[in-house]
Amino acid sequence: MKTRLSIVSIAVKNLSGKVTRTVLLLLAVTVVVGTVFSATLFIISMQNALKIGTDRLGADIMVVPEQYAAEARSALLAGEPTSFYMNKSVLEQVRQIEGVKAVTPQLFIKPAALSCCYSISVLLMGFDPATDFTVTPWLEKNIKKSLTGNEMIMGGHVPVSVGDTVPFFGTTFKVVGKMEDTGMKFFDQAGFMTMDTAYEMAANSKTKAMQTITISRDEISSVLVRVVSDYTPVQVAKKIEHNIDGVRAIVSDVVLNTVKKQLRGLMNGILMISAIVWVLALLLMGFAFYMIVNERQREAGLLRAMGAKKEHIFRLIVTEAVIISTAGGICGLISGSAILVTFKGLILHSVKLPYLLPSPGILAGLTVGAVLLSMLTGLLSSLAPAIVASRMEPYEAIRKGE
């Protein structure tokens, strides 16, 4: 135990005596770990949001007006509030398509803002409680009741609390629930009400609100579709577009899988670059420790002459490397997290994709993996120099080091 403490203290003293070299080696590990950690966490967070968002959507296909297909895709991924309408007759037409298991309508209403006191835009979504399979299951599980009157539930990012009252287009609503975060603005910055309530709000806006909305009960925004197991969503989507004029059937898996493939390609590119940087860091640290061994031959010889064994010299060099690399790994975690937090909004605005941090277990795994990577970097880079140092004969080492 005393030997171990002695080796650590000598290692720390040696590192503090060469501040510039120690800092450069630490920075090399910091860059590697920071790049790998932040990039991996960012990609996993986007993939996590896509998965949770797809599960929340609960539909295989979204049928929308043909001219608004691009906006619908953008709303689904980037979640920018939008509104468009088509005749309600499309609902029954979709229901008759072969391979369709269930359909439900949705109504999108885009207000200017939550109220005078908030700058956040909220996408109001009307759903049909009788046929809905997206919001209703959440209500049954979490609130254990249906929405009545002017009640609504809010997405996780809308700055209101359960029990608050909020005005939309001259109608005051009571918030009876808030959904958990999904990473998709399509859900997180939305307010959900029944379609009957939405139609009444639109009708009352003509007399109660400064900003009016014109929506008839014959209009809906989209039709969500579930497909029977004998058909694929792509097959049914083609049937819908072939048999119904003026609509586009967006297959959720196709859209999201395309994005996931792009993310995998981006991740592979980042990992390749990180691997190159890691190899360069290994070479840099290996060369640096070879220089350290050459500079400290006399020290190694004196330690051997005082009774230190070969394994002690070996452990001394490895300990120095592990201390540097571990400190660099911690710095990499801190700097990578800071960069991610600072530029996350800018990056997400550019790529227009959802983002949701993974579970604490995955975060802990990534953190541990980053620290182990840093320690491995120090260990591998110091093995060869440590072996060379441990094989030096005391007299010869002292003579060469003079």
pLDDT digit of tens for each residue in the chain (402 aa)? 444 446 777 778 777 777 888 888 888 888 888 888 888 888 888 777 777 766 666 788 989 999 988 887 776 666 566 788 999 999 999 999 999 999 999 999 877 555 544 456 788 899 999 999 888 888 888 888 888 889 999 988 888 899 999 888 888 999 999 988 777 777 788 899 999 999 999 998 888 877 788 899 999 999 999 999 888 889 999 999 999 999 999 887 766 666 667 677 777 787 788 788 888 888 888 887 777 776 666 666 666 666 667 777 788 888 888 888 899 899 999 998 888 888 877 776 666 666 778 888 888 998 998 899 888 888 888 888 778 777 766 556 555 545
Among 203, 224, 251, identify where a domain stops. 251
Among 251, 271, 297, identify where a domain stops. 251
Quote the pTM value. 0.66
Q: Characterize the bridge pairing of strands 151-154 and 171-178.
A: parallel
Question: Do 157 and 264 have their domain in common?
Answer: no
Question: Do 89 and 140 have their domain in common?
Answer: yes
**Domain containing 43: what range?**
2-52+258-401
Question: Do 15 and 62 have their domain in common?
Answer: no
- Number of domains making up the chain: 2
Question: Do 292 and 190 have their domain in common?
Answer: no
Question: Do 299 and 386 have their domain in common?
Answer: yes
Of 1, 6, 5, the residue nearest 306 (C-alpha)? 6
Indicate the residue type of 391: R
Question: Do 48 and 63 have their domain in common?
Answer: no
Question: Do 198 and 284 have their domain in common?
Answer: no
Question: Do 266 and 379 have their domain in common?
Answer: yes
**Longest pairwise C-alpha distance within the chain:** 100
Question: Do 204 and 339 have their domain in common?
Answer: no
Among 251, 269, 297, identify where a domain stops. 251
Question: Do 292 and 210 have their domain in common?
Answer: no
Question: Do 304 and 380 have their domain in common?
Answer: yes
Question: Do 66 and 212 have their domain in common?
Answer: yes
